[in-house]
């Protein structure tokens, strides 16, 4: 589960099945009942119809928790991003960061840092498209040391400068108006 919409779907489907929810967080669900095989398969089938899956492997669950913490922090937090993400992740998951980092790299084929960067760049794109914040405000919110640091990273990932990306959006909107 990587979005609030997913959480709502899971809550709704659990309620439809008559299950009592203790907790529904991004990537994690706790229910009061013990699931017997028939109910488990029913839940699995319902979730798969939405493109979601049940996971039991502890390593996979931990990887999903890492991903969900990153997504939540980058896309859904109104506060500026935490400065030391390794400490933040360690405190949230109660695992040594080196273990989390090695596990993530082994399973996902990329580093936690690269995963964060890709999500930060996606968030920068969203914020540029919404046009509500300046580049300076975006850099501050996503914990970049400077606008130039954000711009360099944006160009490295997308091949475009943030200002050119923003111009492209305005050109597309103008083209639509001309139709």
pLDDT of residue 3: 66
State the average pLDDT for the chain.
86
| Residue 174 reports pLDDT greater than 80 | no
Q: Start-end ranges of CATH 1.10.10.60 in the chain? A: 116-177
Residue 52 pLDDT grade (very low, low, confident, very high; cuts 50, 70, 90): confident
The predicted pLDDT at position 177 comes to 56
Per the model's pLDDT, the better-predicted residue between 54 and 140 turns out to be 140
Q: What is the per-residue pLDDT for 98?
A: 96
| Percentage of the chain modeled with pLDDT above 70 | 91
CA distances, 90 to each of 42, 85, 95, 100 (Å): 35, 8, 5, 8
The whole-number pLDDT of residue 1 equals 42
Q: Is the pLDDT of residue 146 over 90?
A: yes
If you average pLDDT over residues 146-156, what whole number do you get? 96
116-177 folds as Arc Repressor Mutant, subunit A (1.10.10)
Contact 170, 178 (CB under 8 A): no
CB 145 within 8 A of CB 136: no
pLDDT, residue 93, reads: 92
């Amino acid at each position: 589960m990587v979005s609030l919409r997913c959480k709502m779907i899971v809550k709704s489907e659990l309620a439809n099945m008559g299950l009592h929810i203790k907790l529904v967080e991004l990537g994690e669900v706790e229910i009061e009942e013990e699931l017997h095989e028939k109910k488990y398969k029913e839940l699995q089938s319902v979730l798969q119809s939405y493109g979601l899956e049940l996971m039991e492997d502890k390593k996979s669950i931990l990887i999903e928790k890492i991903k969900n913490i990153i997504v939540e922090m980058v896309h859904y937090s109104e506060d500026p991003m935490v400065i030391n993400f390794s400490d933040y992740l360690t405190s949230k998951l109660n695992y040594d960061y080196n273990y989390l980092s090695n596990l993530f790299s082994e399973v996902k084929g990329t580093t936690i840092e690269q995963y964060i960067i890709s999500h930060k760049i996606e968030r920068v794109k969203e914020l540029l498209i919404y046009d509500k914040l300046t580049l300076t405000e975006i850099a501050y919110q996503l914990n970049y040391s400077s606008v130039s640091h954000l711009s360099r990273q944006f160009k490295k990932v997308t091949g475009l400068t943030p200002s050119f990306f923003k111009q492209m959006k305005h050109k597309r909107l103008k083209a639509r108006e001309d139709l």
